[in-house]
């Protein structure tokens, strides 16, 4: 969580200086979801992050160097400089490509789960998305399919109460997003998305169900977007400062630190050590990304189709 | 005359039409309170109130589908698809419902509605937020598609689109939202289906759309410096296409370059080339040159975007090839 937070804050600074060239959708305040969920998974499971699940990339092992390079549009970044970092895929890290179309990943995640089920593998497919994505038809179609086919999938809603500038109350007339799962024939669970241990526990249960062939779970994680929709928007655009203030008090990092202190696990300057190693990793990545080359223009024409040799072989 | 930006031209056209006709109304994602992500609909909620200007959930198929139903019931909806790339989600409503409403009801129903969308590469939004979608939609009988390149044309074409008896897709170029121009204060229209000759010339005809019109005009300046005179035609409407103006120009210049942002294969340029080939074959003194985006998804990162889009230099070279052929 600390690494993700430090990453987000530093990326925002680099954006202001014009070094980060992709639009940033800050995840400050939502780190516990990506962390809690991904710690509940095995390396051979797959995930599709939302536009804001930064923590998931780092927990699953995408290097800060590569991730940041992507945001600078460098050849060492996502898809060799061809794609934005926040939707990048990584085969090694078990991260399926996200979509810049909010909600379009949901049926894709169901499809990954379908492949696991057909091959009788006990792997799980996880899709992260914001509350806004539940307004898409793809949410309904993806969850319904997963329910009917009892697919090993977990659908994680990062309910941060806003979609761009609009509060959820203007987009959803019901009272609980998790409750929708009932209509698809599988459990829907609401958890405190700022409590990393609560997320982990709920996820572990959902994963156990999926591995046991009992089908999907819809996990609604309640959280708050501490920043504006993207780097170009002021942090509290269109929001009540008192609301923002109350959520800052429930910051997931603060909560977890308090919990660790309560359990007596923060002795021996542990936090200072973590902070120092986080700072070092981030600064190393900044140097790496800044020094990395821009993509070769010829890169544009690669990876549009399979390389000629492979297509020949297929014939 | 008043100087207005392209985005303000959107506001003006909507404001004028909404004042005139109470059936005209506007909805889409973040178009009301936020005034649109490109601020193209700013101020309309304040003037017309939340029953005529409202925000919707993130539901492109429901936005366009609901517009079809409302239009069939006598309303005149204007909806926004925030990024043209999201038409994929609304494609069914546009192609199967809106475009066919009149035909499949033998003329009893129609879907007089406008779908506005921002399109175009240039800014670093990545492959799924920068596509030019006109060719995806050009093969659909029943649709009309316009691509204004100036504030004047935004006002004139959007007003014509709103008054059209059938569905119209208005493609607004993201690179142009800040572009300014003097426009008359009195009401005016731009007819759908009429191209504009932006610069007269004798040696070569350059037909362009949207943001590429600006690049074609700079290319024409560069060509002029080298002693060649290029005629630049802004297609404005891609469906229907103003074949007459284009063919008329080529019969004088004998040379044609077509330039747009979408890839060349299956693109708008193919229709222009085919029309000229069919109607002005005998006048052509050189092979037709077609320029468009590279045959690749649109990349993120400036170096690759520059490689992707036709540049002023690409247009100049294509024109020179045609002239020296
Ligand atoms: C299909 C589609 N429609 C609209 C958008 C524009 N858009 C980008 S992010 C966003 C809000 C998403 O809200 P939510 O899913 O709640 O995620 P959050 O930003 O709150 O994390 C919108 C409308 C998009 N990217 N894709």
**For residue A135, which atom of ligand 1 is closest to its CA?**
15
Residue A27 banded pLDDT, cuts 50, 70, 90: very high
Q: What is the mean pLDDT of each run of 10 residues along chain B (325 residues)?
A: 98 98 98 96 98 97 97 98 98 98 96 98 90 98 98 98 98 98 98 98 98 98 98 98 98 98 98 98 98 96 94 98 96
Q: How many folded domains does chain A comprise?
A: 1
**Is-contact A77 A22, C-beta < 8 A?**
no
pTM across the whole model: 0.94
Regarding the beta carbon of A220 and ligand 1, being less than 6 Å apart is answered: no
Ligand 1 touching residue A152 (CB < 6 A): no
The least confident of A50-64, A301-315, B286-300 is A301-315
Report whether A54 contacts A27 (CB < 8 A): yes
Atom of ligand 1 at shortest range from CA of A30: 21
What pLDDT is attached to residue A267? Answer: 84
For residue B260, indicate whether it is catalytic: no
The CATH number for A187's domain is: 3.40.50.970
Residue A236 lies in a domain: yes
Enter the ipTM.
0.91
If DSSP codes are grouped into helix, strand and coil, which group holds residue B259?
Answer: strand
Q: How far is B83 from chain A (nearest CA, A)?
A: 10
For residue A314, pLDDT beyond 60: no
Residue A304 belongs to some domain of the structure: no
pLDDT of residue A234: 80
Collect all residues of chain B within an 8 Å Cβ-Cβ radius of residue A137: 59, 61-62, 89
Check whether A309 has a pLDDT greater than 80. no
Q: Please check whether residue B156 is in contact with residue B190, taking contact to mean a CB–CB distance below 8 angstroms.
A: yes
The domains of chain B, with CATH numbers, are: 2-183 (3.40.50.970), 196-324 (3.40.50.920)
Indicate which residue of B12, B76, B116, B129 is catalytic: B129
CB within 8 Å of B97: residues ≥ 6 apart: B65, B68, B111
Q: What's the CA gap between B323 and B315, in Å, rounded? A: 12
Segment holding B170, helix H or strand E: strand B168-173
Question: In 3-state terms, what secondary structure has residue B213?
Answer: helix
Within-domain flag for A142: yes
Contact partners, residue B85, CB within 8 Å, separation at least 6: A100, A101, B119, B128, B129, B130, B131, B133
Task: Give A21's contacts in chain B (Cβ within 8 Å).
Answer: 124, 301-302
Does residue A165 register a pLDDT over 90?
Answer: no
The number of helix segments (H) and strand segments (E) in chain A equals 11, 7
Confidence of residue A315 (pLDDT cuts 50, 70, 90): low
Beta strand A162-163 with A166-167 is antiparallel
**Separate counts of helices (H) and strands (E) for chain B:** 12, 14
A42 vs A97: CA distance, rounded Å: 18
SS3 A82: coil
Containing domain of residue A82, as a range?
Answer: 2-293
In this complex, is the C-beta atom of A305 within 8 Å of any C-beta atom belonging to chain B?
Answer: no
Query: Does B125 contact ligand 1 (Cβ within 6 A)?
Result: no
> Does A163 contact ligand 1 (Cβ within 6 A)?
yes
The answer as to whether A185 is a domain residue is yes
Residue B36: per-residue pLDDT: 96
Contact A135 B296 (CB under 8 A): no
For residues B308 and B292, give the distance between their C-alpha atoms in angstroms, rounded to a whole number: 8
Average pLDDT, integer, range A31-58? 98
Residue A44 lies in a domain: yes
Residue A180 within a domain: yes
In a domain, A35, yes or no: yes
Q: B150: cis peptide before it, omega within 30°? A: no
Annotate A114-158 with DSSP letters as a single string: HHHHHTT----EEEEEEGGGGGSHHHHHHHHHHHHTT-SEEEEEE
Whether A81 and B128 lie within 8 Å, measured CB to CB: no
User: Would you state the pLDDT for residue B123?
Assistant: 81
Residue B265 token pair: 């294969």
Question: Would you say residue A265 lies in a domain?
Answer: yes
pLDDT band at A232 (very low <50, low <70, confident <90, very high): confident
Q: Determine the distance from the C-alpha atom of residue B121 to the mean position of all C-alpha atoms in its chain, rounded to a whole number.
A: 13
């Amino acid at each position: 969580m600390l690494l993700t937070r430090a990453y987000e804050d530093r990326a925002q600074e680099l954006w202001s200086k014009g070094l980060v060239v992709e639009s940033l959708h800050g995840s400050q305040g939502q780190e516990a979801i990506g962390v809690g969920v991904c710690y509940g998974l095995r390396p051979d499971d797959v995930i599709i992050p939302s536009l804001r699940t930064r923590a998931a990339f780092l927990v699953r092992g995408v290097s800060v160097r590569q991730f940041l390079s992507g945001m600078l549009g460098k050849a060492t970044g996502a898809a060799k400089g061809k794609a934005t970092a926040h939707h990048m895929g990584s085969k090694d890290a078990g991260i399926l490509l996200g979509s810049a179309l909010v909600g379009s990943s949901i049926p894709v995640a169901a499809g990954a789960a379908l492949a696991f089920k057909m091959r009788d593998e006990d792997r799980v497919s996880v899709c992260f998305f914001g509350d806004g994505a539940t307004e898409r038809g793809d949410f309904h179609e993806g969850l319904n399919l997963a329910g009917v086919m009892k697919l090993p999938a977990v659908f994680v809603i990062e309910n941060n109460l806003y979609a761009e500038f609009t509060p959820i109350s203007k987009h959803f007339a019901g009272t609980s997003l998790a409750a929708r799962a009932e209509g698809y024939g599988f459990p829907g669970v609401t958890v405190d998305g700022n409590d990393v241990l609560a997320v982990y526990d709920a996820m572990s249960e959902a994963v156990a169900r999926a591995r046991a062939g009992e089908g999907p779970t819809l996990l609604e994680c309640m959280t708050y977007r501490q920043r504006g929709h993207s780097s170009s928007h002021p942090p509290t655009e269109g929001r009540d400062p008192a609301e923002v203030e109350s959520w800052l008090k429930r910051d997931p990092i603060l909560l977890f630190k308090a919990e660790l202190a309560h359990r007596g696990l923060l002795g021996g300057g542990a936090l200072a050590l973590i902070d120092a190693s986080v700072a070092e990793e981030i600064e190393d990545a900044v140097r790496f990304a800044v020094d990395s080359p821009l993509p070769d223009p010829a890169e544009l024409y690669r990876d549009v189709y399979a390389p000629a040799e492979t297509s020949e072989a297929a014939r | 005359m008043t100087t207005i930006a392209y985005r303000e031209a959107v506001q003006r056209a909507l404001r004028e039409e909404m004042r005139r006709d109470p059936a005209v109304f506007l909805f889409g994602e973040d178009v009301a309170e936020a005034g649109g992500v490109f601020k193209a609909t700013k101020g309309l909620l304040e003037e017309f109130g939340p029953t005529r200007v409202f925000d919707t959930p993130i539901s492109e198929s429901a936005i366009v589908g609901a517009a079809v139903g409302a239009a069939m019931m006598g309303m005149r909806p204007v909806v926004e698809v925030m990024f043209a790339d999201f038409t994929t989600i609304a494609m069914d409503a546009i192609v199967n419902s809106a475009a066919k409403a009149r035909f499949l009801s033998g003329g009893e129903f129609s879907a007089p509605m406008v779908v506005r969308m921002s399109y175009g590469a240039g800014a670093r939004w990545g492959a799924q937020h920068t596509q030019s979608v006109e060719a995806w939609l050009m093969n659909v009988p029943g649709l009309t598609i316009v691509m204004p390149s100036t504030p004047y044309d935004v006002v004139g074409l959007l007003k014509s689109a709103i008054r059209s008896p059938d569905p119209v897709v208005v493609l607004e170029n993201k690179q142009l939202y800040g572009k300014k121009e003097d426009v008359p204060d009195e009401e005016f229209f731009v007819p759908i289906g009429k191209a504009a000759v932006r610069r007269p010339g004798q040696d070569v005809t350059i037909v362009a759309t949207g943001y590429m019109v600006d690049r074609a005009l700079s290319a024409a300046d560069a060509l002029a410096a080298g002693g060649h005179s290029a005629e630049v035609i802004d297609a404005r409407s891609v469906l229907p296409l103003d074949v007459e103006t284009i063919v008329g120009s080529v019969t004088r210049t004998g040379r044609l370059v077509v330039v747009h942002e979408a890839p060349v294969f299956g693109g708008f340029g193919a229709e222009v080339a085919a029309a000229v080939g069919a109607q002005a074959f005998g006048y052509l003194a050189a092979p037709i040159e077609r320029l468009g985006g590279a045959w690749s998804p649109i990349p993120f990162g400036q170096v690759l975007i520059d490689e992707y889009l036709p540049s002023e230099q690409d247009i100049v070279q294509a024109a020179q090839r045609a002239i020296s052929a």
